[in-house]
Structure 1
């Protein structure tokens, strides 16, 4: 170890990186298609390839398993093409399940479908929410705190509901760019104390809060944000993210993480990527 402050600090950061095995919930894109438009990424006029989406999804699932994670799979339902985006299905903290209530009618049936899976799999502390929230799309746990998005989908009143039920402090953040309509499209959790995010996606006040809370956060460029580079999953060491986010990949390497680029181009046609497909149980 080189004996100067910067080198010592860098070595220490790299030395403590450790992958934490997670239990994850995913949903095969068997019925995936873009038949409506509820975000700027969706264009029903552009063709989708179900076989390609299944192949890309399966590669992601196999990658999780190869890294030591446990993957549960919920059965897809015909007529719910966005059900593949499992992160939106609920928020799970310490075994408590806060259900999802979707803003757009095209997705409303997904909430009960996911809650039914939790009930059948032995979860007992389950809350059907009063206010609209779109699961881990807008609720991201960082250590013993929850960052909560609003502005396009999740009702800000749901933040208090989540805090009361889940028993963790909830910090509200407001999104302003419709291309980044969920929090998990503009911010990714890397460890219990670290995040990466795209500042222009947030209001000035929310940017100030993030700067105060995470002064050493990795900041995404316009180019990396545009390829959904922040829609990522981290186990504390391995960070799975779109392979086109080359700038973020290099920054993650510099911080001692092990970034793994994946290809989910078919699902991006509906405005989703790695994290959207992944609900952390």
Structure 2
């Protein structure tokens, strides 16, 4: 166990969130969404605010994009784009219900001074299906993102892409079935992937934490890690224990209202990996 617990270091990060002011479940585009089920929007707002405060309390910067009426899923900013080295690849959503988010987030990035900014040419749902592990982009595809988007992703960021096919409709984005913990270590649900992708993960990450169905069903894998702290749903207590055994510090949060739309902590944040140099965008007081 000692080999797993040496050198855990928290690294300050920058995240984008969007308040769930217009959060509802009026349509169904994943198995978690039940339009007839009541949604408590003020509770969702309170839970999202608590998540923001936790992240800031851990030393991370959090910026806020303005929510738009008619786009209830904007709260899930992980799907907005992928941002690496200051380059922004804006999502192109598979479902028409979320298509309007692309223009809203593209405008936010352009106004904030990010360059370059491009909208993906094929279905590509941002960091929901793109997780950076070291220098490699783990790219999920199947329910939402199209595998045909991978060459554009790899070329745009100049990084190798590892394609991973999701086969369980409950885990429709990669970040619902896999979390990157420190760049060299991940945790994931084996049953969410096809056999070929599972073998690839086991080859690349032999020391990974393999979660079970109980962990995944409460969105325990939809976690935010800074290399030491791991923010995850409070209901994922068993998974939290396994993380602690590996030398991580679990940080439980309550996001049950957002789970009604198939969302957890990681769904609500997009990491803003800025590039080097003085042109790097700074915080926007008007949106904080």
- Normalising by the smaller structure, the TM-score range is over 0.9
1:231 correspondence with 2:222: yes
Residue 172 of structure 1, aligned match among 144, 163, 175: 163
Which aligned pairs between 1:253-268 and structure 2 lie closer than 5 A?
Answer: 253-268=244-259
Are the aligned partners of 1:221 and 1:247 in contact in 2 as well (CA < 8 Å)?
no
1:57 correspondence with 2:57: no
1:16 correspondence with 2:4: no
In the TM superposition, structure 1's runs of 4+ consecutive aligned residues that sit over 2 Å from their partners are 12-15
Quote the offset at 1:104 in angstroms.
0.3
Q: Once structures 1 and 2 are overlaid, which stretch shifts more, 160-169 or 122-131? A: 122-131
Alignment partners' CA distance in 2, 1:211 and 1:13: 17
Secondary structure in 1 matching 2:163: strand
Residue 195 of structure 1, aligned match among 186, 198, 207: 186
Alignment partners' CA distance in 2, 1:81 and 1:140: 24
Residue of structure 1 equivalent to 2:85: 94
Alignment partners' CA distance in 1, 2:204 and 2:38: 42
Residue of structure 2 equivalent to 1:275: 266
Residue of structure 1 equivalent to 2:276: none
Residue 101 of structure 2, aligned match among 84, 105, 110: 110
Number of residue pairs the alignment of both structures matches: 272
Alignment partners' CA distance in 2, 1:213 and 1:274: 25
Which aligned pairs between 1:25-174 and structure 2 lie closer than 5 A?
Answer: 25-174=16-165
Deviation per CA, 1:254-281, whole angstroms, max 9, x where unpaired? 0000001111000000000100000000
- Structure 1: 5+ residue stretches without partners: 1-5
Are the aligned partners of 1:89 and 1:99 in contact in 2 as well (CA < 8 Å)?
yes
- Structure 2: 5+ residue stretches without partners: 273-288
Alignment partners' CA distance in 2, 1:106 and 1:52: 23
> Please, what TM-score do these two structures have when normalized by structure 1?
0.96
Secondary structure in 2 matching 1:250: helix
Deviation per CA, 1:129-148, whole angstroms, max 9, x where unpaired? 11110000000000111000
Quote the offset at 1:246 in angstroms.
1.4
- Supply the RMSD in Å over aligned alpha carbons: 0.8
Deviation per CA, 1:200-248, whole angstroms, max 9, x where unpaired? 0000000000000001100111101111100000000000001111121
> Please, what TM-score do these two structures have when normalized by structure 2?
0.93
Quote the offset at 1:15 in angstroms.
3.8
Secondary structure in 2 matching 1:98: strand
